[in-house]
Structure 1
């Protein structure tokens, strides 16, 4: 009972104790409490704002990192594609010019030329050109197919047109073989003469070898003259073939310029199609003008 009575007395005395505290002290205490509460609210608000900024920055950084990774991956893929294209396009252009060279050289290729066939250059071109179709953009891919068709047609046309010339030149190649043998005989007899002179051989022996050496030289001269006459006789036919080739190849060369310009654009070079096309036309006109100066105007 004593404890309860003491507790009740303390409770009853609280209001009196509160009333005994001066007003100034209560004002200060309340102000401190308000300031403390406001400070807490401010700190909490600042913390929340800072947390939000950090969270937003994290989201932003993640998005930027994802974009950069995607960009790097795309750039790597583009670089790999560009490297493949450069290799493919360079090889294709080389084989295209090799095929054009084979077309121009058809009349001068022996019919029994061992080790190669007439279609080797065309097959190499078609193989290289087909890779353009695989890796190029649509414009170049379509042009590559167009070029393949035109090249194949031109190749077969040139092969057929050159056949009579190749047949007519076949004896010339046989003369070349005889000429090589005759020249080797001249060289052999020259060495023999030098050896006989050094050994002090009998003059009759030396004279006989000199006679054989002269006959070998005469044979060489005769073969060269005969070969020259045969070539001169075939010159008009060869010129007609060349002029026909220039006329027939114009669509092919136009497509080739268009394709190469398109390929240059893909590997980030200036296409310059109009300039290249004009250069091609100028070259054609210059060659025709040269033929006319050297051999006269083309037959009507």
Structure 2
């Protein structure tokens, strides 16, 4: 205990032996160092908060950009899918898959649901499912148009074949008339052939006319049914578009959207009927 007190006294004596000028310098240095430390600590906190804020902001910007691109792609592919469905009656379904033109929309809708807001994702899923059923109904009904087109092509082939035989027989009859002493019996046989081919061509033209009329009627019915189905989906489509715009920070006029979509669908039907009228 005595030794400890002796050590303490020695240390205290050492401190007292230091001149006041040195102590003032030491204290000043300590205060300056403390100020630097406190300033650095505050700056570090501010920098950390700024970096965290920038990271969150950049992440938000990336998410918003990804969402915006996905929404734009869905809107674009939906228009393409509707146009494809309207043009299906013009396709050669032996060479082209009528369902292929809608695949891009369904792929875009599926991807969009991964980045969309919960409300938009749900609305888009409902709309995509209903649009899928609409597409199936449309594609499955096109076989009536295809059957009529096949009948028209078969009739045309029959006409072409009989036309060839008709021309060949007519040429033989002409040659026979030019021969001296040709028998009337041979001429009568050729004449019967000529009448037969002529009658077959007439039947072919009638059959082709009926088939083309059926094709036109089925095509018009298809177009009307398609427009009716699209109009029936207008409410769901508007809800999706309005929700997308809200996610992106844009206001929307629902009634104006409804009016625009209705006019768009009516214009599709009008153009289709106009195009079909030209074939009469």
Normalising by the residue count of structure 2, what TM-score does the alignment of the two structures yield?
Answer: 0.58
Instruction: Tell me what 1:106 maps to.
Output: 88
**Larger Cα Rg: Structure 1 or Structure 2?**
1
Choose from 120, 126, 130 the match for 1:146.
126
Which has the higher mean CA deviation after the structures are superposed, 101-110 or 124-133?
101-110
Secondary structure at the aligned position of 1:249 is classed as helix
- Residues 1:293 and 1:88: Cα distance change in structure 2 (over 3 Å): closer
Corresponding residue number in structure 2 for 1:208? none
Task: Indicate yes or no: 2:257 matched with 1:276.
Answer: yes
Residue segments in structure 2 that go unaligned for 5+ positions in a row: 1-19, 161-203
Cα offset for 1:87? 3.3
Q: Where does 1:23-34 land on structure 2 (aligned, <5 Å)? A: none
Residue 252 of structure 1 is matched in structure 2 by: 233
Quickly say closer, same or farther: Cα 1:177–1:58, change in 2 above 3 A: farther
Size of the alignment, in residue pairs?
213
Q: Could you say which residue in structure 2 is the equivalent of 1:167? A: 147
Where does residue 102 of structure 2 map in the other structure? 122
Structure 2 CA distance for partners of 1:165 and 1:291, relative to 1, 3 Å? closer
2:75 corresponds to: 93
User: Does the CA-based 8 Å contact 2:81-2:105 persist in structure 1?
Assistant: yes
Q: Tell me, yes or no, if the aligned pair for 1:133 and 1:145 is still in contact at 8 Å.
A: yes
Using the alignment, how far apart are the partners of 2:207 and 2:273 within structure 1?
Answer: 27
Deviation at 1:279, TM superposition (A): 1.2
SS at match of 2:264: helix
Give the Cα separation in 2 of the matches to 1:175 and 1:71. Answer: 74
Distance in 2, matches of 1:153 and 1:58, equals 65
- Contact kept, 8 Å, 2:70 with 2:111, in 1: the verdict is yes
- 1:11-30 maps to which residues of 2 (within 5 A)? none
1:283: Cα distance to partner?
3.2
- Aligned CA distance change for structure 1 residues 269 and 175 (closer, same or farther; 3 Å): farther
- Once the two structures are TM-superposed, the CA of residue 102 in structure 1 deviates from its matched residue by 2.3
RMSD: 4.2
Identify which of 113, 136, 155 aligns with 2:116.
Answer: 136
Query: For the Cα contact (< 8 Å) 2:77–2:108, is it kept in 1?
Result: yes
CA change 1:293–1:100 in 2 (3 A) is: closer
